[in-house]
Amino acid sequence: MTKSCDKPTGSSAGHGSKQKSANNSDVTTGTQHQSVLQQIRTELPTIIKNCLDEVCKEGNFHLSNPDLQKSLLEVNSSIKDLKLELDEIKRSQNFITDKFDEFEKRIEINSMTLKDNKKLIKDHEEMIQSQSAVIEKLTNKMEEIDRQCRMDILEFHGIAATQKEDTNSWINEVVSKLNITLSESDISFSHRKFHADETLSKPPPIIVKFSSRKIRNNVYSSRHNLKNSTDTPRIPDMDKVFIIENLTEKNRQLFFDARKLKRDHGYSYLWTKFGRVLVRKNDDASILQVCNESDLQKIK
Distance between CA 288 and CA 24 in Å, rounded?
130
**Residue ranges of domains in the chain:** 85-149, 151-246, 247-300
pLDDT tens digits, one per residue of 22-65: 455 554 555 655 565 666 667 766 766 666 666 556 454 455 56
Q: 14-28, 95-109, 235-249 — which is least confidently predicted?
A: 14-28
pLDDT tens by residue, 58-74: 454 455 567 777 777 77
Homologous superfamily of 151-246:
L1 transposable element, RRM domain (3.30.70.1820)
Predicted TM-score (pTM) of this structure:
0.60
